[in-house]
Structure 1
Amino acid sequence: MVPAYSAGARLDRLPISGFHRRILWLIGAGMFFDSFDIYLAGGILGALVKDGWSDLNLNAAFISATFVGMVIGSFSAGILGDRFGRRFTYQANLMIFGLASLAAVLAPDMWTLIVLRFFMGVGLGAEIVIGYATIGEFIPPAQRGRWAAYLSIITNTALFAATLVGYLVIPTFGWRAMFAIAGLGALAVWYARKSMPESPRWLESVGRTEDADRVLTGIEATYGGSLPVPRRDPVVARNDPGLKVLFGRPVIRRTLLATIINVMINVSIYGFVAWVPTFLVKQGLSVGSSLGYTTFMSLGGPVGACLGAVIAERLGRRNGLTVTSLVAALLGVAYTLAPSIEIATAVGFGLFTCIYLMVALGIAAYIPELFPTEYRLRGTGVASTAGRVAGIFIPQVVVWLYASGGVVPVLVMLVGALLLQAVCVGLFGIETRNRSLEELRPAGDGPGSDLAPAPAER
């Protein structure tokens, strides 16, 4: 029996409630430990060298193993998440990086740790793809961008948490304790998430309408009173379109746009943010002073994510990304012209803020909205994979640019990336603010698309 109302229509009419807050914290907790596990590497690698366990070459292999695993995790999460469901995939990736982290506590040598770090990377790369895409499938259109930014705030707090915990734990308990904290945290979230429902939108898209109705009935029962009547949307189960749909004529523009956003943001992070302490030391500052100035600049991370929550539904995702990219490009120019370290630090704070505002608007909110439910994770995963690959090679480009002319060529690269992003999003992006995910479907993207016509792209 075909349901009277679609899953999307029934979810979109629900007022924000404790159910949505529970979903946010369950997804956010997993993404927090994902980022915590990524950022703990800095403190651990320093301790490994000091203990004689590792050297710079082995540290580089550790970092490379992380990125290779994340590339594989990002891509595979897109395939598995659309094929087997959001719930199966986020539980599997939590189990992978949780168990690998706990196994790292017992690693007998550095090469074993590097192999385990590869498996951690697989789980870590998958979590971001699944988390941001899944939260948007539960939140009503008028709040979707803001709640994606809330998830970005939770995720970004892991940088400060990993730094603080490492400072307190590593000198007293050693580096193994950091992996124990990450692993136990991930498995605790895995257990808590066992009660998290599957996305009704995904269930409906693969023809499991009875399961979708059962989940929706349980969600609606938590409200206890009358609810608004859902809009009339057709209920359509679609065939698995495979990866090729991302490169077909109706969708390829969105695929390329999502890829550009992911790559340009990774260029900003791994081509500038990660190098600021090194640049400052090269300019004559002591390591302590460099870290002090960088710490102040890094406060722009949570500030940017918080701004994302404020402007996502006011300025919109396309307009917000375009304006933020242009402001960040201007700040990149200003950084090169700063007459003192104090002014450069203030400008750097603004630049960090803009970069992490782009993460909240672009990666957290905008990219998952560009793709329909049946291939949302595939589209997000392909774009994320491209960004991860860029993250592997950008540091080598930075080394070459810095050797050829100092920090100015590096900032020219950064400004160029930001301007390219502004132009692409401004000219080829669509505005997704306050529009249902079903309304955003590309016109003519597959069988049954005539039943759910989308508005014009521009």
Structure 2
Amino acid sequence: MSTVANNPVVGSIAARLERLPHSRWHVKVRVLIGAVTFFEAFDHLLAASALPVLMDEWNLSTGQATMAVTTGSIGMLFGALGAGWLGDRIGRVRTVALGVALTGLASLAVAASGNIEMFALFRFLQGLGIGGVVPVAATYINEIARSDNRGRFVLLYEMIFPAGLSAATLVAVWVIPHYGWRAMFLIGALPVLIAALLPRKVPESPRWLLAKGRTEEAEAVIAQIEREVEESTREPLPAPRAEIPDEKGTGRLADLFKGRYLRRTAVLSGLWFVAYYVNHGIATWLPSLYTDTFGLDLTTALTFSLISNATGLLGNFLMALFIDRIGRRPSLIAALTGASAALAVLAIVGASSGPQVAFFASCTTFCIFAINAGLYLYSPELYPTRNRAKGAAFGGLWNRLGVIIGPIVVGGIIAAGGSLRLVFAQLAVVAAVGALIAFFAVETKGKTLEELNS
């Protein structure tokens, strides 16, 4: 049993957060955390955007190219594990700030790399930061959101991530041909400026403070938030809702694999793996496929990739609008089924031209980006405050495995002379398996984080 249980302040903090109307305070926090997420996404896709140029400049083999794009993902895997522990131990905001600083500094080092080995090493370090920031940031946003509109609140924030991916591709279309790939990584170092600002402008999660037994700090933070909300709305706050049940749990990692949490962790892990296996299995190789297989110039290849990312942004937006209405489980099932169908068309009809692949790849990213955003909402909902960052980050571990294995499998098929039909067929099958896994997901819409974990 958590030491927080039976403490009357628990329900008070949760109830006071639940009564807060949307205000400038929420906008401020989402903008600051969103800026972090934007640049993490921007840095995440830099290797894929630079890959066509790197392959020519350093005369890379397919194996070396695969290493260039997967070392960052391996770093993200370890970063997710470490950040989950840190996020529950030292706080959400401090963990995010540390990860952002590491991401930016490593980007500078990548820009100075003189060979593929140094490039891969510094991409690994950059991945440590990216992998740690995103799940912990999503955990924080979940903890300040109201239960009745948490899906829309979190997913509109999560649109920042595909926006960052789109921005990376858009900037690459112009910067790489004119200034080279190193300039992209110099731009990716900008998050260093945010790292120092974040702890001073964004308050720590009151739910986390309370779970750590820091009751006075939690009360001070929630009181300050309430004052800012009242000042911005110019109206008195509504009365808190009826008492909210207390959470249970010890905060140990082992709790993720016991009782009801075992099912939640298993389903979540499978969904994360599938979503990112498919996403990165296709996205990482698209620019190179356009140039090497279909003979398109670099600008056209990057433009097609930009269209796919922009379509994904639209999918994210529609998921934000409807997930609170139709629920998490139906949304995930529908999106995974749609992704599988789009990939199956490419496998059956055959990928015969760049524009054809770009169209169905865009249909796939429309669904996949919606799934990814939905999982960043869904993951923190499934675990109590003392384990929330660890639970979300454990899901991040499986998405990193998907990020690593997806491009390796696709690269292996291409290197072995396999057809594009086979590439898209195996991706379609994996997405279909994900849709089946989603049938076992627990529905969380409309419930407070405490009600889901009491």
Q: TM-score, normalised by structure 2?
A: 0.87
**Corresponding residue for 1:446?**
none
**Corresponding residue for 2:258?**
248
**Corresponding residue for 2:382?**
370
Distance in 2 (alpha carbons) for counterparts of 1:61 and 1:295 = 23
Is 1:263–2:273 an aligned residue pair?
yes
* 8 Å Cα contact 1:206-1:239 kept in structure 2: no
- Give the RMSD, CA atoms, in angstroms: 2.8
Q: 2:333 aligns with which of 322, 330, 335?
A: 322
* 8 Å Cα contact 2:247-2:451 kept in structure 1: no
Is 1:332–2:343 an aligned residue pair?
yes
Q: 1:432 aligns with which of 436, 439, 444?
A: 444
**Corresponding residue for 2:315?**
304
Deviations 1:6-36 (A, max 9, x none): 3221101111111111111111100111111
**Corresponding residue for 1:406?**
419
Change (3 A) 1:4 1:34: closer
In terms of mean alpha carbon deviation, does 270-279 or 114-123 score higher?
Answer: 270-279
**Corresponding residue for 1:352?**
365
Distance in 2 (alpha carbons) for counterparts of 1:347 and 1:110 = 32
Change (3 A) 1:8 1:331: same
* 8 Å Cα contact 2:308-2:361 kept in structure 1: yes
Q: Shift in Å at residue 286 of structure 1?
A: 3.6
* 8 Å Cα contact 1:246-1:379 kept in structure 2: yes
Is 1:137–2:143 an aligned residue pair?
yes
Equivalent AA in structure 1 for residue 372 of structure 2: V
Q: Shift in Å at residue 216 of structure 1?
A: 0.2
Distance in 2 (alpha carbons) for counterparts of 1:400 and 1:49 = 16
Residue segments in structure 1 that go unaligned for 5+ positions in a row = 442-451, 453-458
Is 1:200–2:199 an aligned residue pair?
no
Q: Shift in Å at residue 5 of structure 1?
A: 4.3
Q: Shift in Å at residue 60 of structure 1?
A: 4.3
Q: Shift in Å at residue 415 of structure 1?
A: 2.5
Is 1:65–2:71 an aligned residue pair?
yes
Partner-residue secondary structure (3-state), 1:16: coil
Change (3 A) 1:4 1:418: closer
Distance in 2 (alpha carbons) for counterparts of 1:143 and 1:37 = 30
Superposed, 1:253-292 pairs within 5 Å as 253-278=263-288, 284=294, 286-287=296-297
Partner-residue secondary structure (3-state), 1:202: helix
Change (3 A) 1:155 1:234: closer
* 8 Å Cα contact 1:2-1:209 kept in structure 2: no
Q: Shift in Å at residue 46 of structure 1?
A: 4.7
Q: Shift in Å at residue 248 of structure 1?
A: 0.9
Distance in 1 (alpha carbons) for counterparts of 2:360 and 2:71 = 34
Distance in 1 (alpha carbons) for counterparts of 2:41 and 2:102 = 15
Q: Shift in Å at residue 101 of structure 1?
A: 2.4
* 8 Å Cα contact 2:100-2:194 kept in structure 1: no
**Corresponding residue for 1:125?**
131
Change (3 A) 1:193 1:179: farther
Q: Shift in Å at residue 395 of structure 1?
A: 2.5
**Corresponding residue for 2:429?**
416
* 8 Å Cα contact 2:246-2:450 kept in structure 1: no
Q: Shift in Å at residue 383 of structure 1?
A: 1.4
**Corresponding residue for 1:444?**
none
Q: Shift in Å at residue 268 of structure 1?
A: 1.2
In terms of mean alpha carbon deviation, does 196-205 or 409-418 score higher?
Answer: 409-418
Equivalent AA in structure 1 for residue 96 of structure 2: Y
Deviations 1:334-382 (A, max 9, x none): 3334487566544433222111111122x22112211111111111111
In terms of mean alpha carbon deviation, does 208-217 or 404-413 score higher?
Answer: 404-413
In terms of mean alpha carbon deviation, does 366-375 or 268-277 score higher?
Answer: 268-277
* 8 Å Cα contact 2:145-2:154 kept in structure 1: no
* 8 Å Cα contact 1:338-1:344 kept in structure 2: no
Partner-residue secondary structure (3-state), 1:8: helix
Deviations 1:242-261 (A, max 9, x none): 21111112210000111011
* 8 Å Cα contact 1:149-1:365 kept in structure 2: yes
Distance in 2 (alpha carbons) for counterparts of 1:168 and 1:331 = 30
Is 1:88–2:94 an aligned residue pair?
yes
Partner-residue secondary structure (3-state), 1:197: coil
**Corresponding residue for 2:3?**
none
Change (3 A) 1:357 1:203: same
Q: Shift in Å at residue 105 of structure 1?
A: 4.7
In terms of mean alpha carbon deviation, does 399-408 or 196-205 score higher?
Answer: 399-408
Distance in 1 (alpha carbons) for counterparts of 2:33 and 2:292 = 40
Superposed, 1:19-98 pairs within 5 Å as 19-48=25-54, 55-56=60-61, 59-98=65-104
Deviations 1:425-448 (A, max 9, x none): 22x21221221111111xxxxxxx
Distance in 1 (alpha carbons) for counterparts of 2:166 and 2:183 = 17
**Corresponding residue for 1:447?**
none
Distance in 2 (alpha carbons) for counterparts of 1:211 and 1:405 = 59
**Corresponding residue for 2:152?**
146
Q: Shift in Å at residue 80 of structure 1?
A: 0.9
Equivalent AA in structure 2 for residue 317 of structure 1: R
In terms of mean alpha carbon deviation, does 165-174 or 120-129 score higher?
Answer: 165-174
In terms of mean alpha carbon deviation, does 99-108 or 141-150 score higher?
Answer: 99-108
Distance in 1 (alpha carbons) for counterparts of 2:376 and 2:17 = 20
* 8 Å Cα contact 1:205-1:236 kept in structure 2: no
* 8 Å Cα contact 2:101-2:195 kept in structure 1: no
Change (3 A) 1:152 1:287: same
In terms of mean alpha carbon deviation, does 231-240 or 209-218 score higher?
Answer: 231-240
